[in-house]
Amino acid sequence: MKRIAVIAAAFALSLTLAACNTWSGVKQDAKEVGQAAGKGIERAGEKVQEVAK
């Protein structure tokens, strides 16, 4: 019974560590998407200014 508990604890720990790694990847991806969107908006604003001249 103790062996099953140790195996279950090790499995839970490995899932937790995998989730942490995934979460930091999600945060990094979201940051990159935000930066790309900001650049796109900036370029669109520049185009509007060029057309308005």
Which tens digit of pLDDT belongs to each residue from 20-35?
667 777 788 888 888 8
pLDDT at 41 over 80: yes
HSE at residue 4, side-chain half, CA atoms within 13 A, is: 1
Instruction: State the Cα–Cα distance between residues 33 and 17, nearest whole angstrom.
Output: 25
Rounded CA gap, 9 and 48, in Å? 58
Q: Look at residues 18, 23, 43, 1 and name the one whose alpha carbon lies nearest to residue 51.
A: 43
Residue 20 pLDDT = 66
Is the whole model's pTM more than 0.85, yes or no?
no
At residue 21, the pLDDT reads 66
